[in-house]
Structure 1
């Protein structure tokens, strides 16, 4: 209570009850409803998102309704001009103003409420009270997210857990691996390194099952893959994002030792269970975009085996960055052989990403691929930005992939194209933290228009709602719009940690050019400021200043602004103060892509395939594009026939609209001779021919729901065929609502060889000691659980070239 009372005395926060969804917990955090209108009734919605929340409330704020009503008035003017002024903004008929006093106390006001922000320890000094006040507000949001204990209903029965760390946001008072790690990477390490490090330590765990960590140290540490799709890892494999945050905090020797140990163990484990040698990629879900039917085909809502088998751009780039970090740390530990191995693995992964994910006809990297390499005409901004920022995309590809990614006046969507049958959340939405990664990519590729666009979007969202919200609807930048079953964002949280980090990064990095230079907190000042922002930020001033922990940065204007980008001309540092004299340069900027269609066509039903003599007859509804074994086969209209070839034939189909956009794929239908082998283990089979074979298991796993949990069943299928070396294939059996097929592996043998199959234990998240605190499902406080009911072993011949480039 003492800390809460201190919080109340420190600042004042006034808002309308429905404008910011100020629930009881938020009231306790010193928000007072404004008595300006009667409270509206609340509508309960169940969210199926990455935080495993049982429910949340969402009501359409008046501001969002106004924005929606005025959408038709939006104009295709440059983003920095979209309503932003020095002392407020006007956005589709809604005015937000800001005032401040001599003590740097800011009052942000909109038609239905206001927020008063107390003086903050750090400040920006520009010609724009709006810019400076929102920087103060981000600090205040960060203070509210800084806690001594965390809680979540699925851990320790919702009781407080001591942790001097950051919570994820108002509606998410817990620590989640990806949210925290991305937020730290965006700069929170600079603002509170101790709290950042504590949060990362909380997400690092040892193993509670003896002998479960095959091929690693006897006492390994792993970052946790939070509860998620189909029972978590290895359906989702982006836990390596932990190292993206941890790399900034290696000045602490003990923590650096833990990082290096965990990095080696995690990379070895992911290589064992998630790496596909043939394609050279890591399997697993897109990072952060883990509400399946929002960005994957709708049929994955209860069939996540496809996701476990698939490959995501963002997750592979994160693995690339982890391998690069491992090589650097191995060098520092004088482990030359290990460093060379990591470096070679990183180079091979970069090459595979560029071969597999690059789509030349779009000039962009695809978001994900099917398990056999099937291309999907879908894209996500985080994956693309990470590819650029990491150096996976370089040269002209880096410039093109960002420039070709579409944007709208309010900002850049996190996926494109959108899904016409899904509500707003990841679909048709702006997420500020992703906008900040896009801003980084724009700085890397020197695209002033994109830099200005992302800065404007981040500023506008924070100003419109008096907090750094989790996300916004794409077309209006509303924090909730009413569209019946498509309403959304389905859930939204004020002071969302990575949104707060995005605003702080936009100021320190996006405007003032502060960026890390190597490891252990070394920094440099490298401004890349669009001259289009000079009127708002400088006004009639010659200089603007930023005060950060332990340093002060001043940017000085040149005599002439004869260019589109301001960069450093001269730089001097005296004590903790760095003064940069800017110069204007003209770069070959690429225009924002503002003419893209919004929606992709809906995915079709699965093609109907049946054997007719020596042919397969394929029937679809209307004209569709047919895919066979991961490759486009051609367009068909209603029906077609295809000569039967040896091996398994797997078909899917897509629709193409008049603008050339391709839908997501239908479910896949595989036909051909399949051997079903039941009985006790070990099971035995004699190969009728030489070649490659696909193997999977019919199974059922009812140990948790599709959208959460930690009990994906993970096993190692051991294959011993006469005359061949032992082959070991990881098999993943996600939570299921019916008997279905597991992930599949590939093995080779010769005709007449007898093969014996056994199942060895694998590894899942329930084996981590941390999940002894998990009380939201099986495999937690009741003990580890890695089981499924296994039925037949399925073996089918693979056609030559199946899944090949």
Structure 2
């Protein structure tokens, strides 16, 4: 059983760095704490640390290495997975917390439900190999048809409850297909996958795709605690997030489009296949155009809705860009090599925030480390491969379970720092952390690919731990055994396959040592970035705008980098929309996240009943948004973001349609925006039509944590004005430096 986890007493010990390197044979030492792992003749293991121990019985799968530590942690991962394998799930926000039958995986000890992204990443990391039925059942649980007869019907992947009332503020539900791609051997399930691909991608194209940028809008995948990774002021205003573009979410859409093209070809639909392939190709090009930041040699985590670049990066997005093939060649190698790491492991985001508690901020998440491991194998970086393997192993060993996350500097499961203490939430046997250990074993050490081929890329630095005095190590899976044999000559930094032979169910790999050009771990990066400044003031003066800021700041105007000012500065008044943000740059050259925008040049709001009419004063492009209130749920959860389609008919032009999202709000605020064109003097009519939100899905009839669920679908907001602003001829899309 899982015994008492390390607590406050360990936090004090963690303040002292280890006197000697950790021993990785039958235990390890870390910050004054010793963990030992022992095996008995019957195949059971005991993991012991100063504050408790866990005994793990013999498991059906085994690794035969020289390290009881490595072997025992693989047994522990199996035992964790066994405990996560359930026949019913529950969550307080569904069916009033009553059990819901489901022969599937629950997410963890503290998260006894099925969440789209958690399950999908877990399956993609390898759980599909070990229990295909539970994997499929869990994915099927996250599919739904539509309960609103007047809405477009279909089969859709669910975006879980989340920021501002869920989709399309968060749009990473397409991660579902990352897991589903491994389970298409079941024909009825494959048919559902194909239908869900078509319907979900079409819906995202309609409501979340920006044709001008060629990117999908929405929050970063997995990092959905807004003020941790986005500007702090988004804690009560998430429209900025819904308007922005995230690297990880766009890469997931790229992968889903590729999968749709492949499945369409299999179904004999050449036209659909070509369409999906063209969309994927264009999206890949747009990601590389807009997210690549040459001065950092990394892909940025997200962009503002007007293209404002952000000096912030996340490991999952970068790893997915590499493994998906979006990042190629030198960019793929650079973006991983330039991403900083610390002795305990790699943070999920960088730079960290000194005003936020530990959770996504200043934290290691094993499942992200597993994706970084996968990316490091892709670009042949032995130091990174070894670093991520040891980080996942160390975390599991220190706490006798595959924990959800760890503090970055100490790898503590909780560090007491007052209001900044954390990780704020941390669950044992977290499913994607369990999957991470499986990935460390199957992929990281034994080189097992999805297609069953074996392609080890094993750093020679791990040979003493894994092989000891042995000449071979083995992995026993349900359907096969893989044996790796050491070469006699081991000069080099990477062991790869020399010869692969298969006899019956046994695959034997004779390794050879090679030397690859490795990238050293980046360990010199500053930990924190500067705090964002307040919104600048903007005042008209003699045909110019006087900008007032607190101290020295970098200005961005309509997404473009402008001048640096110290206190005050002047900008030309263009007669069109000018939205100004400010950032700070610290002594390390790290730029803060942006301030809120201050905008000038908007026309007086158009009020009245729908449809509303307006006459264009000049010919050109315009931005349109709504003043609104949506008090149907809290900022951080729910399913009732109001999603509408604004139909615009101007004299002499075809109808233009702009999706509008009005997330949950705590005050009157501005919706997401769109753009339309009009000629001078033309009369334009604006009709706000029904869209689609997650409350329309049949599955959410089980939602009892707020409105829009068991009490019926809800897709409404209190609209108080239509706001139109002229866009100058110089307005362009995209601004990655």
SS class of match (1:441): helix
Please give the per-residue CA displacement for 1:155-189, whole angstroms capped at 9, x wherever unaligned. Answer: 00000000000000000000000000000000000
Matches for 1:650-799 after TM superposition, within 5 Å = 650-799=579-728
Give me the whole-angstrom Cα distance separating, in 2, the residues matched to 1:424 and 1:344.
41
After superposition, the Cα gap between the structure-2 partners of 1:787 and 1:436, relative to the gap in structure 1 and judged at 3 Å, is same
SS class of match (2:327): coil
For residue 505 of structure 1, report the CA deviation from its aligned partner: 0.8
* Pair 1:173 & 2:102 matched: no
* Pair 1:155 & 2:70 matched: no
Structure 1 partner of 2:226: 292
SS class of match (1:748): strand
SS class of match (1:85): coil
SS class of match (1:685): strand
Give me the whole-angstrom Cα distance separating, in 2, the residues matched to 1:575 and 1:339.
38
Structure 2 partner of 1:512: 446
For residue 14 of structure 1, report the CA deviation from its aligned partner: 5.1
Structure 1 partner of 2:309: 375
Structure 2 partner of 1:63: 10
Give me the whole-angstrom Cα distance separating, in 2, the residues matched to 1:641 and 1:738.
32
Structure 1 partner of 2:569: 640
* Pair 1:326 & 2:260 matched: yes
SS class of match (2:685): strand
Please give the per-residue CA displacement for 1:461-501, whole angstroms capped at 9, x wherever unaligned. Answer: 00000000000000000000000000000010000000000
The TM-score, its normalising length taken from structure 1, stands at 0.90
Give me the whole-angstrom Cα distance separating, in 2, the residues matched to 1:208 and 1:549.
41
SS class of match (2:86): strand
Structure 1 partner of 2:394: 460
For residue 643 of structure 1, report the CA deviation from its aligned partner: 1.8
For residue 803 of structure 1, report the CA deviation from its aligned partner: 4.4
Structure 2 partner of 1:313: 247
Give the length in aligned residue pairs.
Answer: 734
Q: Is the 8 A contact 2:18 2:32 kept in 1?
A: no
Give me the whole-angstrom Cα distance separating, in 2, the residues matched to 1:14 and 1:143.
13
Q: Is the 8 A contact 2:380 2:516 kept in 1?
A: yes
The equivalent position to 2:3 in structure 1, one of 8, 12, 15, is: 15
For residue 622 of structure 1, report the CA deviation from its aligned partner: 1.1
For residue 82 of structure 1, report the CA deviation from its aligned partner: 4.8
SS class of match (2:608): coil
The equivalent position to 1:445 in structure 2, one of 366, 372, 379, is: 379
The equivalent position to 1:573 in structure 2, one of 502, 508, 511, is: 502
Structure 1 partner of 2:129: 190
Give me the whole-angstrom Cα distance separating, in 1, the residues matched to 2:727 and 2:151.
32
Please give the per-residue CA displacement for 1:214-247, whole angstroms capped at 9, x wherever unaligned. Answer: xxxxx41111000000000000000000000000
Structure 1 partner of 2:138: 199
SS class of match (2:361): coil
* Pair 1:335 & 2:275 matched: no
Matches for 1:9-48 after TM superposition, within 5 Å = 13=1, 15-16=3-4, 19=5
Q: Which runs of 5+ in 1 are unaligned?
A: 1-12, 21-59, 76-80, 214-218, 518-522
Q: Is the 8 A contact 1:84 1:456 kept in 2?
A: no
Give me the whole-angstrom Cα distance separating, in 1, the residues matched to 2:729 and 2:399.
57
For residue 641 of structure 1, report the CA deviation from its aligned partner: 1.0
SS class of match (2:164): helix
Give me the whole-angstrom Cα distance separating, in 2, the residues matched to 1:747 and 1:194.
48
Give me the whole-angstrom Cα distance separating, in 1, the residues matched to 2:593 and 2:29.
38
Give me the whole-angstrom Cα distance separating, in 1, the residues matched to 2:633 and 2:663.
9
SS class of match (2:710): coil
* Pair 1:99 & 2:46 matched: no
Matches for 1:128-147 after TM superposition, within 5 Å = 128-147=67-86
For residue 83 of structure 1, report the CA deviation from its aligned partner: 1.4
Give me the whole-angstrom Cα distance separating, in 1, the residues matched to 2:619 and 2:550.
38
SS class of match (1:706): coil
SS class of match (1:90): strand
SS class of match (1:525): coil
Give me the whole-angstrom Cα distance separating, in 1, the residues matched to 2:2 and 2:232.
41
Q: Is the 8 A contact 1:147 1:165 kept in 2?
A: yes
Deviates more, 1:127-136 or 1:636-645: 636-645
After superposition, the Cα gap between the structure-2 partners of 1:352 and 1:74, relative to the gap in structure 1 and judged at 3 Å, is farther
Structure 2 partner of 1:125: 64
Structure 2 partner of 1:112: 51
For residue 646 of structure 1, report the CA deviation from its aligned partner: 2.5
After superposition, the Cα gap between the structure-2 partners of 1:730 and 1:554, relative to the gap in structure 1 and judged at 3 Å, is same
Please give the per-residue CA displacement for 1:557-587, whole angstroms capped at 9, x wherever unaligned. Answer: 0111011000000000112111000000100
For residue 647 of structure 1, report the CA deviation from its aligned partner: 0.9
For residue 802 of structure 1, report the CA deviation from its aligned partner: 2.7
SS class of match (1:618): strand
For residue 749 of structure 1, report the CA deviation from its aligned partner: 1.1
The equivalent position to 2:209 in structure 1, one of 272, 275, 287, is: 275
For residue 675 of structure 1, report the CA deviation from its aligned partner: 3.1
Structure 1 partner of 2:462: 533
SS class of match (2:595): coil
Please give the per-residue CA displacement for 1:106-139, whole angstroms capped at 9, x wherever unaligned. Answer: 0110011000000000000000000000000000
Give me the whole-angstrom Cα distance separating, in 2, the residues matched to 1:64 and 1:258.
48
Give me the whole-angstrom Cα distance separating, in 1, the residues matched to 2:636 and 2:244.
17
Give me the whole-angstrom Cα distance separating, in 2, the residues matched to 1:264 and 1:504.
32
For residue 259 of structure 1, report the CA deviation from its aligned partner: 0.1
Give me the whole-angstrom Cα distance separating, in 1, the residues matched to 2:60 and 2:562.
62
For residue 65 of structure 1, report the CA deviation from its aligned partner: 2.9
Q: Is the 8 A contact 1:82 1:409 kept in 2?
A: no
Give me the whole-angstrom Cα distance separating, in 2, the residues matched to 1:82 and 1:141.
28
After superposition, the Cα gap between the structure-2 partners of 1:242 and 1:84, relative to the gap in structure 1 and judged at 3 Å, is farther
Q: Is the 8 A contact 2:218 2:244 kept in 1?
A: yes
Please give the per-residue CA displacement for 1:247-302, whole angstroms capped at 9, x wherever unaligned. Answer: 00000000000000000000100000000000000000000000000000000000
The TM-score, its normalising length taken from structure 2, stands at 0.99
SS class of match (2:605): strand
CA RMSD across the alignment: 0.9
Give me the whole-angstrom Cα distance separating, in 2, the residues matched to 1:251 and 1:534.
37
For residue 307 of structure 1, report the CA deviation from its aligned partner: 0.4
Q: Which runs of 5+ in 2 are unaligned?
A: none
SS class of match (2:35): strand
Give me the whole-angstrom Cα distance separating, in 1, the residues matched to 2:293 and 2:385.
24
Structure 1 partner of 2:421: 487
Structure 2 partner of 1:24: none
Structure 2 partner of 1:50: none
Q: Is the 8 A contact 2:314 2:350 kept in 1?
A: yes
Deviates more, 1:460-469 or 1:202-211: 202-211
Give me the whole-angstrom Cα distance separating, in 1, the residues matched to 2:234 and 2:293.
24
For residue 786 of structure 1, report the CA deviation from its aligned partner: 0.2
After superposition, the Cα gap between the structure-2 partners of 1:287 and 1:803, relative to the gap in structure 1 and judged at 3 Å, is farther
For residue 61 of structure 1, report the CA deviation from its aligned partner: 3.4
SS class of match (1:15): coil
Structure 2 partner of 1:246: 180
* Pair 1:417 & 2:405 matched: no
Structure 1 partner of 2:519: 590
For residue 84 of structure 1, report the CA deviation from its aligned partner: 3.9
Q: Is the 8 A contact 1:674 1:796 kept in 2?
A: yes
Give me the whole-angstrom Cα distance separating, in 2, the residues matched to 1:82 and 1:346.
46
Q: Is the 8 A contact 1:649 1:799 kept in 2?
A: no
SS class of match (2:496): strand
Give me the whole-angstrom Cα distance separating, in 2, the residues matched to 1:765 and 1:649.
34
Q: Is the 8 A contact 1:297 1:666 kept in 2?
A: yes
Structure 2 partner of 1:399: 333
SS class of match (1:677): coil
Give me the whole-angstrom Cα distance separating, in 2, the residues matched to 1:584 and 1:539.
17
For residue 74 of structure 1, report the CA deviation from its aligned partner: 5.4
